[in-house]
Structures are given as C-alpha cells and as structure tokens.
Amino acid sequence: MSSKIAIQGVPGSFHHQVALKNFGLDAEILAFNTFEPVAKSVASGVADFGVMAIENSIAGAILPNYDLIDRYGLFIRDEFYLPIAHQLMALPGQKIEDISEVRSHPMALLQCKTFLAQHPQIHQFDDVDTASVAKRISEEKILGLAAIASEIAAEIYGLEILARDIQTVKDNFTRFIILHREKSDSDQIPNKASFKVTIKNEAGGLAKLLTMLAEKNLNLSKIQSIPVIEKPWEYAFFIDAEYNDPNQFRESMKLITRDFGDLKIFGEYRSRKL
C-alpha cells in the first residue's frame, strides 16, 4: 500500500515535487491550501507523512511552521533541499507587456523581487501557493494575469513561460522537512537535530547556552526566537544543530535540561545539505 503524504499546494507545486522525489510516483498525495491542515493530518494519522517547507536560502525561515511542528507534537524524520527555479507564466499567446498582475506565494514573490522591480506595471499579489495560481489561470482562462511557479506547473496546466529563471539568486534552495507523528526509527546514524529551548529569564542565559553548545562541538545552522505567549518577555529558541559525535549531542541536551530551561527535541536525522 502506498503512503499518504500531506502537502501544502496542488500538483506542480514545489511541495508536490518533494513528495514524489521522497516517496515515489505511486504515493497518495493529500493536498491542502495551508500548512496547518498538513500538520493536523499527520498528527491525527490521516496522513502517514507530511512535507513542509521550513526555510529558503534567500527569504529565510518560515517561522509559523516551527510553531505548527511544536503545537501538533510532530517529529522531523528527514530533510530535503530542493533547487528552486521560478518561471513567469501565463495563457499562451501573451507577452510580458500584456500582463498587469502577477500572483504567487509571498516567498516566491520575495525571491523574484529584482525581476519584478524591472516591470513596475505588473502589480504583485500574495496567493496561497505557486502552482494553484497557474491552475486557476488555466481553468478560468484569465488574460492579463501571470503566475510565478515551476516549469512543471507550466507543463501540467498548459501555460506559456514568458520569462525563465527569474529568481534573484540563481543558487536558490528551499529546505523541506519530512514530518511524522512518531520519532525516527532509522538505521542511519544522525548528525543533525532540531530542538526547542525555553530559556530561564535571567541575564546572559542565551550567551551561556550558545557557549555550552559550542564547547560540545555543535554547529548551529539555524536559531530562531519566538516569544512565549503565556510568559511575557520570555523566549523559546528553535535550533538546528549539526554534530559529528552523537554522545556530545546527548551530553549537551542533558546540560540544557539541568542548567538552562525546558527542552523539546523534534528530531534527530541525517543532514542533506548539498
């Protein structure tokens, strides 16, 4: 039986591509408009796994998704880095001069801001997904509207690419995480972990924490702060750390629990950074 994979977006989206690359063409895709039902479907067991973008090499972290992982009690099983190439597409027969409006996911618009600045006549609007805009243009035969999406989306929905590879930085990658409702049982030895630390409200707490992690030879590839809603002026830190020695990682986690505050580990897995 094929796995059920929850994604945000429609066929042709970057999430759809990652799901097929990870789980095969026979995977059953459960598509949602936003990220929260993706997390909810995995937590409830409706989906076996979820695919969720967590950061982009240009636009940075997607902070609300860290909160979803935490709130729904999910675990990170793996990660996947997808090269992102954005194409401007519209109904066939049009030119860029005919386009008055472009819609896409806000992250995609941000990643193409230099190109869009060269075409001030094209008004930009956020939408829920890249490929969903392409789908709507195709189904409703909308003239004057362009989508920013993948080449695969143009092929699926029969649109013409008006400008290729319009992302500002050509080496543009999005990091996706593979979510499950249980901890990993992989045979691979992990060398990366994602965890949350809620630091005690005391002077120098974060500096002391970072010093301790450095002494344990943990390389912090990402650290994001989010306010603790129920405790004003206290912050939780979502951290990604790479390491060579699993024993040093475990020792550092024990020290966090003993000396720094509350700890929640979201997953230990292999780094897939290209």
Active site residues: 174, 176
Q: Of 247, 238, 235, give the one whose Cα is nearest residue 266.
A: 238
Q: What is the DSSP string of the chain?
A: -PPEEEEES-TTSHHHHHHHHHH-TTPEEEEESSHHHHHHHHHHTSSSEEEEEEEETTTEE-HHHHHHHHHTT-EEEEEEEEE---EEEESTT--GGG--EEEE-HHHHHHTHHHHHT-TTSEEEE-S-HHHHHHHHHHHT-TTEEEEE-HHHHHHHTPEEEES---SSSS-EEEEEEEESS----SSPP-EEEEEEEE-SSTTHHHHHHHHHHHTT-EEEEEEEEE-TTSTT-EEEEEEEE-S-HHHHHHHHHHHHHHTEEEEEEEEE-----
